[in-house]
């Protein structure tokens, strides 16, 4: 058998309306707040610069496009090869162009 739970003493209206002292958080000084906000701003700025540089590097790698029309049969063969090998068509095209240029001394 479980032991009976102790009951809380009854709360009177005077106790309920009485204001409890609030525990306040320590207020940092103006210099501390300023230094923390400067640190936070510098960290955010550094993050923005890193993201910008990463986007620029990615754009440099992929910004030269070649547009060439393919006949229907070649396009279907390319799609089938890409699907069967689970790679993108652009990877196959890049590899084929690279191989052709290498074979011809470019």
Instruction: Give the DSSP letter string of 16-74.
Output: HHSPPPPPPPPPPPHHHHHHHHHHHHHHHHHHHHHHHHHHHHHHHHT---------HHH
pLDDT of residue 1: 55
Q: What is the rounded distance in angstroms from the CA atom of residue 36 to the CA atom of residue 48?
A: 18
> Topology of 65-106 in CATH?
Arc Repressor Mutant (1.10.1220)
> For 77, how many CA atoms within 13 A lie in the half-sphere containing its CB?
6
Determine the pLDDT at residue 4.
60
Task: List the pLDDT tens digit at each of the 106 positions of the chain.
Answer: 555 666 666 666 666 566 666 667 777 788 888 888 999 999 999 999 999 999 888 877 766 778 889 999 999 999 999 999 999 999 999 999 999 999 999 9
pLDDT confidence of residue 6: 60
CA distance 41 to 45: 6
pLDDT, residue 26, reads 73
Q: What is the pLDDT of residue 89?
A: 94
Give the C-alpha distances (Å, rounded to integers) separating 76 from 79, 80, 82, 100: 5, 6, 10, 21
Is residue 92 within 8 A of residue 78, CB to CB? The reply is yes
* pTM confidence score: 0.43
59 half-sphere exposure, CB direction, 13 A CA radius: 6
| Domain boundaries, given as residue ranges, for the chain | 30-63, 65-106
pLDDT at 11: 62
């Amino acid at each position: 058998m479980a032991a009976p739970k102790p009951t809380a003493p009854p709360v009177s209206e005077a106790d309920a309306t009485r204001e409890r002292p609030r525990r306040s958080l320590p207020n940092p000084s103006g210099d501390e707040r300023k230094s923390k906000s400067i640190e936070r701003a510098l960290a955010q700025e550094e993050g923005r610069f890193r993201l910008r540089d990463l986007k620029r590097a990615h754009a440099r790698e992929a910004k030269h496009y070649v547009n060439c029309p393919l006949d229907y049969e070649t396009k279907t063969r390319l799609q089938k090869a890409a699907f069967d090998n689970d790679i993108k068509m652009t990877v196959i095209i890049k590899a084929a162009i690279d191989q052709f240029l290498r074979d011809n001394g470019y």
